[in-house]
Structure 1
Amino acid sequence: MDKKKKKIGLLGEIDLMILVVPTILVAVLCFLFMGYPEASTKVLNGVRAFLGGEMGVFYMLLGIGSLVCAMYMAFSKYGKIRLGNLDKPQFPGFKWGMMIFTSTMAADILFYSLCEWALYANESHIEMMGGMQKWAPTYALFHWGPTAWSFYIVLAVAFGFMLHIRGKNKQKFSEACRPILGDKVDGILGKAIDLFAVFALLAGTATTFSLATPLLARALARVFKIPASIALTIIVLLAIAAIYTITVWFGMKAISRLAALCGYIFFLLLAYVFFGGGEGRYIVETGVSSLGNMLQNFISLSTWMDPLRETSFVENWTIFYWAYWLVWCVATPFFIGSISKGRTIKNVVLGGFGWGLAGTYTSFIILGNYSLSQQMKGAIDMAGDIAKGGEVQDSIIQVFETLPVTEVGLILLVVAMVAFYATTFDALTMVVSFYSYKQLTVGKEPDKRIKTFWSLLFILFPIVLIFLGESMASLQSVTIIAALPVGIILILIVASFFKDASKYLKEK
């Protein structure tokens, strides 16, 4: 009888629409991709071409506006607001910083660090700008730099204010819009905002898993001399799901400890490549040159739209990346805001940028510039292999073949990526579980059954997509499409923050 009451009580607390509708949408999308791959791809690519080509300026201006807005939050009167009534931050600096870095697309950061320059290498725009050595690593730092992180930072501040200052029990995107939209967030408009948010998150996470897990399967196959099959990739996915599900059961303390451990593994991998590869001087000098080049040209990179459409570089890369970061804005900033209790807004902004960019740039400079050095010295031809249609994952394995004791490096890569996946999806599962409740007191954690439900849903979509190799372009299109409403919602949330924070300061 008690169990029955408990079950009924949980169902009464849950927002069933948030659980059911996104699940159905994911199922429908999987069906369309599998049943009508050519037709669905054509439709999605058409919509993507329209949004990237005709609406591209929206994504670009949103990126610039978010960066300016983040700086204003830090250095204006709002920067002194402390999020919560603690005398000192809830989490110490290193744990807080590693939780920020590992809650983002950290496994993707490792993946793209090793190959991003090669993805740009054959673009005519790169050749027109001045060549691969100068501009391929520069664009990598730009696309994973301050503009991208600013999407997270401005929302993290808004969510932190909502949670720790206003103490809102309805922990959803829609609630953050209340200062602007008022009671409309309790109706259809609020439901639409939250459903768009959850669906966008599912699209972004599926892209992440489907891109990087085949690399883990190939690395394990190389180390243990076994075939790199779809079955092995799915086993890797399930193992990652098991790890992050178990971790999230134990709550924020377990997540913070795993994030710290993840940081140590990450630094060990970087040290192995930096010192073992013997390219330290090239890595550092190319990194410094790329940073200087990016800073010197930051405004032009941020505003160049290629109005004559001489190349498709902006649509294929810059706009896609801003959209990709936007769909992750549904959960990651919420997580950053929730772990920032006791910090000032200025500290959240500067610390968020500091830890995020430090981890990201260190990865791209060391891993990316090492692989670029091997291309420039003729040890590998990653750019040529990719241009001929070769698998990016196989090219990355070739990079590790140039390092001493290749098996050790590949094991470090696998462990680091699995740990990053686990911490990232711990954060996502925790946040989307909060989303699932009609109301949940700040500080109280969701039921384990809700966490498990989302853990399984996050993994099912990528498993389907693993069988559909050519569907990744379609999924990237879904990402750009889903990012459009998220971008509009971001504007509403930030405007709501300034309105509510001004009111709070007047109250003080």
Structure 2
Amino acid sequence: MSVVKEDKKMAVDPAILWPAVLAILAASIPLALNPVAGKAVVSGLLSWFTGNFGWLYLLTGIGSFFFMVWLAFGPLGKIKLGGPEDQPEFKKFSWITMLFCAGIGISICNWAFVEPLYFLSGPPLGIEPNTPAAAEWAAMYPMFHWGVVPWALYLMPALPIGYALYVRKVHVLRLSEACRGILGDLVDGPVGKVIDIIVIFSIVGGVGTSLGLSVPLVSELFQAMFGLEDSFLLQMAILAAWTLMIAWSVYNGLNKGIQTLSNINAMLAFILLVFVLFAGSTVFLLNLWSNSFGLFMDNFFRINFWTDPVDKGGFPEGWTIFYWAWWIAYAPMMGLFVARISRGRTIKELIINGVVWGSIGCWAFFAIWGGYAIDTDVSGRVDLQAVLNEGGIPATVVAVLQSLPAASIIIPVFTLLCFVFLATTVDSSAYMLAAICTKEITGYQEPERWNRIMWTILLAFVGVGLLSVGGLKAVQTSTILVALPMIPVLIIMAASMLRWAHQDFGQDLAPKALAMCEKENKAIQVTHLPNEASDVAVDKPA
């Protein structure tokens, strides 16, 4: 079924829109007007939250992973997000690229070259810095931070939302609706509005983190290409150009805008990955990745539960806990977006493709780009650790790119990749923020264009606030703050979906062919013989 284009009668819900906008402005304006005091406040909050709630972020991450494994390979994995007439809206390649680009974005361009260098000089678990063991762990740890656990966190809200949209046939695209199985009619009142406002704040905080980290990177790339001086004005000009690209994308919607940018992005990333793989020490990169995978599998449980409670060296708080908070903050946007583009696919298909292909995509960047950075630093060709200490992340990325053959060509291509990567994340976020604020919208419709454009501009404004404060601490804190209240929401959503599935299909799906149909606007369970024509909602084997 084709997507219904913009419905001019779709009204915005002011009870969600305006409180969310006011909360975002209240958080952003003080940062922009008083960056010195703002930086001091967010630094103190960062230490307090990571020190007191780090264990909760870690348990949420590993719990989400095992929950996804249970769903995928249990009886619920057969449930189809839609009826038998619902075919996937997007081809599998486009679906996976949209999913990957929305979830990762430019952040991987920031970190793929640089994160291993941080771990070389400051490795985990008491390992001596700049030793062979440190190099091996530096290559492995990003596989953990960007692997199966983060993608499981991303899918935690996607499945309940997809179930509500395409099995229960609800006419709103909000996380509060996916909590109805547990909260009941409370989602129609202030409780539901609070949940949706928390979700909006979480999405804006997560995207603002990406903007706050990414604009300085592209500013450095422009300086390298054109010999410009770094300035706040240059960063604002880059942010304005980004906003125009993102506005074009969200204006054109899923099929013409977001899907197009995602496909372009995937091709650019593939070209650069292949180039670096063969331009660097190919055999070394392949050996290092193989070693990293073994190290990751061997230490999976240790690193997932490590809080460093005695030595308190700060590694889990500064890295793993920050990352888990970042994924949780992004999870609402990803949940809404992935659910919206996944009609016609089963729960198992969504989990397997999301976790496996999402992880493999991230691992490819760190295996090739991160491995190249380690090799460049350890071999002594470029002292990248010194560049990182003196010039920060953007200068280090530029130094790595300049060490490659044909750097004058590679840097512009990489810059274009950064532009498109961030656009694919922010346009997805603006699209879903607009959908949340729409009173009634189905999984076949798109929110109004003015609504999408407004959220694009607001996201850019948050980016200005974070850029004014500057520094990694500020963006880390914004992420951790907005992620904490999302943890109970994710748990409620998961329990809600399980309760719905039990009500709709019974406890044992395997021996039955079950279907969902509507009768007096209520979903009921229908059991069919294998050859009966019916609205089957559970995927049957061929």
Structure 1 match to 2:485: 485
Counterpart for residue 462 of structure 2: 461
Residue 3 of structure 1 corresponds to which residue in structure 2?
none
How far did 1:124 drift? Answer: 5.5
Counting matched residue pairs gives: 498
CA shift at 1:424, angstroms? 1.5
CA apart distance, 1:52 = 1.3
- 1:58-99 Cα offsets, whole Å, 9 max, x none, are 111111110000011111110001111236422221111111
Shift of 1:501: 1.3
Alignment map for 1:168-247 (pairs within 5 Å): 168-247=170-249
Note if contact 1:159-1:334 (Cα within 8 Å) is conserved in structure 2: yes
- Provide the C-alpha distance between the structure 1 equivalents of 2:425 and 2:499, rounded to a whole number of angstroms: 31
Report what 1:415 is aligned to: 416
Letter matched to residue 273 of structure 1: V
| Paired residue secondary structure (2:112) | helix
Q: Which runs of 5+ in 2 are unaligned?
A: 1-5, 507-524, 527-542
Partner of 2:452: 451
User: Secondary structure at 1:399's aligned position in 2?
Assistant: helix
Matching of residue 76 in structure 1 with residue 110 in structure 2: no
Higher helix share: 1
Supply the AA of the counterpart residue of 2:54.
G
Q: Which amino acid aligns with 1:110?
A: C
Post-superposition Cα deviations, 1:108-133, rounded to whole Å, max 9, x if no partner, equal 01211011112223326365277421
Range with greater deviation from structure 2 (400-409 or 79-88): 79-88
1:100 is matched with which residue?
99
Aligned equivalent of 1:476: 476
SS of residue paired to 2:172 = coil
1:41 deviation in Å?
3.7
Distance in 2 between residues matched to 1:87 and 1:183, nearest whole Å: 29
2:95, 2:341 within 8 Å by CA — same for their partners in 1?
yes
Q: What is the CA-CA distance between 1:38 and the residue it aligns to?
A: 4.7
Which residues in structure 2 correspond to 1:218-297 (within 5 Å)?
218-254=220-256, 255-276=258-279, 278-297=280-299
Equivalent residue for 1:364, pick from 347, 366, 372: 366
**TM-score, normalised to structure 2's length?**
0.88
Matched with 2:376 is 374
Q: d(CA) in 1 for partners of 2:8 and 2:419? A: 36
2:441 is aligned to 440
| Counterpart contact for 2:161–2:335, Cα < 8 Å | yes
1:340–1:31 distance in 2 versus 1, CA, 3 Å: closer
Structure 1 gap ranges (5+): 1-5
Shift of 1:8: 11
Contact 2:199 2:332 in 1 (8 A): yes
Is residue 83–residue 345 contact of structure 1 (8 Å, CA) maintained in 2? yes
Between the aligned partners of 1:251 and 1:124, the Cα distance in structure 2 is: 44
Q: Which amino acid aligns with 1:32?
A: P
Kindly indicate whether the alpha-carbon contact (under 8 Å) linking 1:244 and 1:426 is maintained by their aligned counterparts in 2.
yes
Deviates further, 433-442 or 122-131? 122-131
1:379-398 Cα distance to aligned partner (Å, 9 max, x none): 122223334x4321111111
Residue in 2 that maps onto 1:303: 305
Indicate the RMSD between aligned Cα atoms, in angstroms.
2.0
Query: Following TM superposition, by how much is the alpha carbon of 1:416 offset from its aligned partner in structure 2, in angstroms?
Result: 1.0
Q: How does 1:30-109 map to 2 (within 5 A)?
A: 30-85=28-83, 86=85, 88-109=87-108
The alignment partner of 2:239 has SS state of: helix
Contact 2:7 2:445 in 1 (8 A): no
Superposed counterparts of 1:383-398, under 5 Å: 383-387=385-389, 389-398=390-399
Deviation at 1:107? 0.9
Residue 19 (structure 1) aligned to one of 13, 17, 27: 17
Query: Quick one: which amino acid aligns to residue 367 of structure 1?
Result: W
What's the offset of the Cα at 1:306?
Answer: 1.2
TM-score with structure 1 length normalisation?
0.94
Residues 38/224 of structure 1: CA separation in 2 closer, same or farther (3 Å cut): closer
**Residues 431-490 of structure 1: per-residue CA shift (max 9 Å, x gap):** 1111011221331111110011001001111123323324x4133112112111111100
Q: Is the 8 A contact 1:126 1:132 kept in 2?
A: no
User: Residue 104 of structure 1: SS of its match in structure 2?
Assistant: helix
